[in-house]
Each structure stands twice: as structure tokens, then as C-alpha cells.
A and B are shown apart, each in its own frame.
Chain A
């Protein structure tokens, strides 16, 4: 008797799984090793952050935004405080704007380093993992000496920054920026240049430009499919219109390009931080805002370019000290919908690689 057809196998991956970034579960339907269908299941990290906002004052909600995309918490702070500032019509001091850009871009570098490391780990490149995490530690040290925390930084306030960086911050930042070319060379040598890594990532999980646009994909995942869209350039917020930087675009549409585009973005972030250090003025870091924050009645939407995609906050104010409604538009939640479409037809080990290149952080997806 010969077996020429296998039965469909339904395999549960997650919510606790070595290749899962956070608590994400997918039910994979397999024909042999080939994926025929994926059902993503989210919600295992749901903490009701949007609802919590309604029972906290505007300032008290800032630490909660740290817990959305916890790999780039200054960015979440930034998006939220800018939304409230837009609602209140507050102008913040120049120095605070520059410090926000420096912290935001440092967060982008740190987040991309984690992405490179975890992608390497997901395709079984254990050695490469340590290199990016080693360098990210230096950014965390800079957060720590300025704001007092490493992961949930909570460094921004409505009207400015929580603290002025100490004197030892600037030499640490300079030496980090000086070392980035060597770091990137090392990542390339140990991971991207490796033939096994290239074999696992190149031409795997193709997402054509049209599909990416139709699915409202944003961030590096979109730019790796050949679309030049970056909120920092398209709708400049803060002081991004003052800096000279490029938006890296790649046209491979595959997992390899979705990963290596982060290396290009790190280079651009370094360029932005160098310009910010050169131009940063002296002065206060907090605007004059009332102690009790009471924005006028109204609603506002504001978006920023998070390392993982477009992050938007929609706030409705009823004139009291607490927001009436906060809605968060996370980048990875929207980006995640490409997984069942793009991963169909690939082998099960490719699904892990495709999921890794999305750089999903479930804190942001489940909220």
C-alpha cells in the first residue's frame, strides 16, 4: 500500500512558543509541511489600556503608553503627549523638541536592534542574537541615566521632557554614534552576509507592493515592498522638517529586505541624531502648562512614525481632567493581517521567518 496523500494536520503554535514574540497564537493548517491556512488568534496580552485611560488623568496615562510597544517606549510617550498638546494647543520649548527627537531616534535604533536579533534567533541563528542585544544595552543605559528606567522609560510629559540629560549622557551618546558603523558591519558579517540566513529569508514571503498598499501596511514592512511612505516625511511632525535624512526603500518585497531595511534605518537615525546634537539650543525643557491638565472639549487625532509602523492616538475630551475616550492605532496590529495572506503556500519554517520580519510586539497589538 502506498501513501500518496496526507491528511490535513491542524497544528497549534503559541501562545507560548519559542518563536512567538509575546503571546501570539496561530492555528496552522498543514498539508504535509506546506501551510494551507493560518488563523491568527490575538488577545492574550489584552490589558484594556484604552479603557484604563478613561479612569486616569491625562498625565497619569503616560506610563501606560510605555506598555504598548515596550521595545520603543519613548515613541509611545511621544505620540500620546503630542496628541494632548495638539488638543490643548501647547507650544513646547525648542530644547525639548530636540531631546524628543534624540530619544525617539535612539528608541528606533534599539527597536531595530531587537528586531535583527530576534529574527536571527527565530531562524536559529543563536550567535547573532547576542551582538545586537549587547549594543542595545548602551541605549538602555542612556535612558536609565536620564529618565531613570530602562524599558518603560516614561521620559516625556505634556509640555516637554521629564528631565534634562545628565552631563555624562552626551559623551555616551557620541561614542555610541561613533561605534554604529562598526556595529552594523558586525551584524552584516554575522547575520545578513551568512548564506544560511540568506537562504532562509531571501525570496521568502513575498508581499507585492499592491497587496501592502491594500492592507494599509505601514513602517519598514511597507518600505521593503517598494513604497516610499514615512510619516516623518509625508506629514512632518515635531521638528522633522528641519533634518536632512532619507527614507530607505527596498524593492525585494521578501523577508530578507524586510529585515535588512532596518539596518538602513539605523544609519538614517544616526544621521538625524548627529544633526540634533549639532543644533540643540540651550533653554528650558518644559513649557508652562497648568498643573491640572484640562483640555478643551473636542477631539483630535495625531500620528507618528513608530519603529514598527504608524502609531496614532485619537483622543476625545469632554473638558474634564480625564479623557472621555482614547483610541490607539498601533502599527503592528494592522501589519499583522498580512500574515495569513502572505504565509499561505509556504513551509512551516518559513511562516516563522515571515512572522519574525513583521517585528510584532503583542503589547501593542492586544493593548
Chain B
């Protein structure tokens, strides 16, 4: 019968209309993301050994870091760590390359900014501001 398919489709629509809601009410209810989600980066300064592996793993040259030798412990310590998020692919190759897991992915996804310069992150300042998690 011509038109049967139309009514069948309407039936499905009505069934779903009374069914459970599947949408998320985003700004009010924030989703909990799995721990592997690469939506942001975090640095734990004391773990970093300034080996430059993250900067070398990056396809786009996002990471620039400098270190200096600590006279007391004779170890290299981090002096500055900058990331230009505007060029970041969020591929996670830097965190995979990090031998001490000083640089890790984090699940903050609200990274929108108004100015292009705000995408240049000073990771040490961020880590100090946000506490241990970075």
C-alpha cells in the first residue's frame, strides 16, 4: 500500500518522542570525560628533566622549553615552558614521548579564548595557578 512507509516512519518518531531523553544539558550539567581524553595539557614542573623529547615529538613545533643546571643537586631544572595552542593538533604525541610523565593530557575542554595571544600558554604559570594537576 502506498504511504505505508510514511506511517511506519511516523510510528518510530512517536515512539522515540515518549522515550527517554538522550541529549545532554551541557552548560548546566558538565559531562565527565574519560581519563584519556586529550582536550588540554598539564605540566608537573618537578617531574620535568628538560630532555626536550616533547618538543622533538611535536609535529608543529608547539612546545618551546628552556632549562638550567641547578648548582646544588647538579640536575637540570625547568626554567620556562611555553605552548602555542593555536598550532596544536591535540595528537598527544608529546605526552607519549615524555619519559617521566611530567606532561600529561587533561580533560579541561573549555579552552575558548577571545584573543590570539591567549592561546600561547605559559605552562609553569598555569601549573602554579591550578595546583598540582597543572
Residues of chain A whose beta carbon lies under 8 Å from any beta carbon of chain B = 56, 59-64, 66, 127-128, 131, 134, 144-149, 152, 154, 162-163, 166, 186, 189-191, 193-196, 198
Q: Which residues of B contact A186 (CB under 8 A)?
A: 12
B91 within 8 Å of A (CB atoms)? yes
Query: Which residues of chain B come closer than 8 Å to A195, judged between CB atoms?
Result: 2-6
Q: Does B125 contact A (CB under 8 A)?
A: no
Q: Which of B12, B36, B90, B93 contacts A60 (CB 8 A)?
A: B93
CA of A147 to CA of B90 in the docked complex: distance in angstroms?
Answer: 12
The residue among B5, B11, B33, B37 with the most chain A CB atoms within 10 A of its own CB is B5
What is the bound-complex CA distance between A131 and B96, given in angstroms? 36
Q: Which of A128, A134, A149, A190 contacts B38 (CB 8 A)?
A: A149
Q: Which chain B residues in 1-43 approach chain A with CB under 8 Å?
A: 2-6, 8-9, 11-13, 16, 22, 33-34, 36-38
- A154-B91 CB under 8 A given contacts A148-B105, A189-B8: yes
A144 with B93: CB separation less than 8 A: no
25 contacts between A and B (CB under 8 A): A56-B59, A63-B59, A64-B89, A66-B91, A127-B9, A128-B9, A131-B16, A134-B22, A144-B36, A145-B36, A148-B92, A149-B38, A152-B89, A162-B96, A163-B36, A166-B34, A166-B36, A189-B12, A190-B13, A193-B5, A194-B5, A195-B2, A195-B3, A195-B5, A198-B5
- Shortest beta-carbon distance, A58 to chain B, in Å? 11
Q: Who on chain A is nearest to B23 by CB?
A: A134
**Which residues on the B side are within 8 Å of A62 (C-beta)?**
91
Cβ–Cβ contact B3 & A144, under 8 A: no
Taking residues whose C-beta sits less than 8 angstroms from the other chain, chain B's interface range is 20 to 34
A148 lies within 8 A of B13 (CB): no
Pair B9/A61 contact, Cβ less than 8 Å: no
Residues in chain A near residue B38, CB distance under 8 A: 148-149
CA gap between A212 and B90 in the complex, in Å: 39
How distant is B16 from chain A, measured CB to nearest CB, in Å? 8
**Candidates B9, B92, B105; contact of A194 at CB < 8 Å:** B9
Q: How many A-B residue pairs have CB under 8 A?
A: 75
Give the docked Cα–Cα distance between A172 and B134 (Å): 31
**Is the beta-carbon distance between B12 and A190 smaller than 8 angstroms?**
yes
Q: How far is the CB of B15 from chain A (nearest CB, A)?
A: 9
Q: Does B49 contact A (CB under 8 A)?
A: no
Asked if B57 lies at the interface with its beta carbon under 8 angstroms from chain A, I say yes
Q: How far does the Cβ of B18 sit from chain A's closest Cβ, in whole Å?
A: 15
Interface residues of B in 81-132 (CB under 8 A from A): 89-93, 96, 105
Contact between chains at B96 and A148 (CB < 8 Å): no
Q: Which residue of A lies closest to B13 (CB)?
A: A127
Given pairs A127-B9, A163-B36, A194-B9, 5 additional interface contacts (CB within 8 A) = A63-B91, A145-B34, A149-B38, A154-B92, A190-B9
Cα–Cα, bound, A140→B57 (Å)? 26
Q: How far is the CA of A358 from the CA of B8 in the complex (A)?
A: 27
| Chain A residues within an 8 Å CB radius of B34 | 144-145, 148, 166
Residues from chain B with a CB closer than 8 A to the CB of A127 are 9, 13
- Compute how far the CA of A144 lies from the CA of B105 in the bound complex, rounded to whole angstroms: 13
Tell me how far the C-beta of B109 lies from the nearest C-beta in chain A, rounded to whole angstroms: 11
- Min CB distance B58 to A, Å, is 8
Considering the chains assembled together, what is the distance between the CA atoms of A281 and B92 in angstroms?
27
What distance in Å separates the Cβ of B35 from its nearest Cβ neighbour in chain A?
Answer: 9
Say whether, besides A149-B90, A195-B3, A60 and B8 are in contact (CB < 8 Å).
no
A156 → chain B closest CB, angstroms: 12
B93 touches A59 (CB 8 A): yes
Closest 8 CB pairs of A and B: A63-B91, A60-B59, A193-B5, A148-B36, A145-B34, A148-B38, A190-B9, A194-B5
